[in-house]
Amino acid sequence: MRLREPPFLGWNGRTCLVTGGLGFVGSNLVHALLEAGATVRVLDALVPEHGGRIDNVDGLDLEVLVASIDDSRVVDLVDGIDVVFNLAGQVSHTASMRDPQQDLYLNATSHGAFLEMLRAVNPAARVVYASTRQVYGRATMPTVDESHAANPVDVNGVAKLAGEQLHLVYARAYGMPISALRLTNVYGPRQRLTSDDLGFLPVFIRRALEGEEILIYGDGQQRRDCLYIADVVAAFEAATKPAAIGHVFNVGHPNTHTLAEIAELVIAAAGSRSSVRLVPWPGDHARIDIGSFHTGSARILDVLGWQASISLREGLGLTTAFYREHPWYLSST
């Protein structure tokens, strides 16, 4: 494994806001920023189904506001901020189909209100928005780069695309220094493991750690690229560079694996006796399935110098070791 330098070197003295900062990706950003000497404020609505938990930041010296990003108190929170990492939102594809209005509010409408508050109070703040490769829908090219048309297959993809484009509109129309990252299949420490709605990787990891059977929908041959959280944190740092302003970048891994291969790698990393079973697609999942997908990340390498450095095998080893040391992540309480 080729380890990176610690992220955010030289950020001592900067003041950062992480929205969704009690969740999986957000809390890892918070830890990295604080370790680099930055001052951190966190905004999180702590919606029970979304995976945020206060113990993700236990013992850290930071300011936390539990509120939605369109709450009027956010005006004071963004005042004086140097950099905003905007990760607030809902990420479940199946949940977005059960309650589309809620997903549109959480991922689009509330972000419009947030951007207006930021424009009024602190328009010079650097902003990096967390989007998703789900905006592309079903791939029509072997490796999906940013030229691929956006054609979401679920409400979550529509809402996240709207939120992303709102940010880029504010960059173009008002000159605000904003960029966006389209993330794919992120895994690692501090991820919520107890929900079946937040992606296949945490489900695989939970079942392997508990010695349970891993179920794979279909024939197990769909391919995915998966990103370890440390690589994602580094991508957020890269996206604060001036060259990123006004642009959106894919953030993926150069290597893909079938779902069956991923399950076996998870089992090996966990030292588990779990088995794998192929099962038919449930209707609510089948209607929004995107098939195989490989994220093309050449643009972010060319423009910002970022590329994934941690293999799936290595990342899963680090991940399962973390959960062995922190078993309460396997509990919903």
Give the tens place of pLDDT for each residue, 230-286. Answer: 999 999 999 999 999 999 999 999 999 999 999 999 999 999 999 999 999 887 777
- The Cα-based distances of 115 to 34, 40, 240 in angstroms read 25, 19, 17
* One-letter-per-residue 3-state SS of the chain: CCCCCCCCCCCCCCEEEEECCCCHHHHHHHHHHHHCCCEEEEEECCCHHHCCCHHHHCCCCCEEEECCCCCCCHHHHHCCCCEEEECCCCCCHHHHHHCHHHHHHHHHHHHHHHHHHHHHHCCCCEEEEEEEHHHHCCCCCCCECCCCCCCCCCHHHHHHHHHHHHHHHHHHHHCCCEEEEEECCEECCCCCCCCCCCCHHHHHHHHHHCCCCEEEECCCCCEECCEEHHHHHHHHHHCCCHHHCCCEEEECCCCCEEHHHHHHHHHHHHCCCCCEEEECCCHHHHCCCCCCCCECCHHHHHHHCCCCCCCHHHHHHHHHHHHHHCHHHHCCC
Tell how strand 178-183 and strand 223-224 pair up. unpaired
8 A C-beta contact, residue 257 and residue 215: no
Write down the pTM of the prediction.
0.95
**CB-based contacts of 118, cutoff 8 Å, min separation 6:** 78, 84, 125, 127, 176
Ordered by where they begin, the domains of the chain are 15-187+226-252+295-309 (3.40.50.720)
- Residue 85 φ then ψ, to 5°: -105, 105
pLDDT in tens, 114-147: 999 999 999 999 999 999 999 999 999 999 999 9
8 A C-beta contact, residue 332 and residue 217: no
What confidence category does residue 94 fall into, taking pLDDT thresholds of 50, 70 and 90?
confident
198: pLDDT strictly greater than 70: no
195: pLDDT strictly greater than 90: no
314: pLDDT strictly greater than 60: yes
pLDDT in tens, 11-70: 999 999 999 999 999 999 999 999 999 999 999 999 877 778 999 999 999 999 999 999
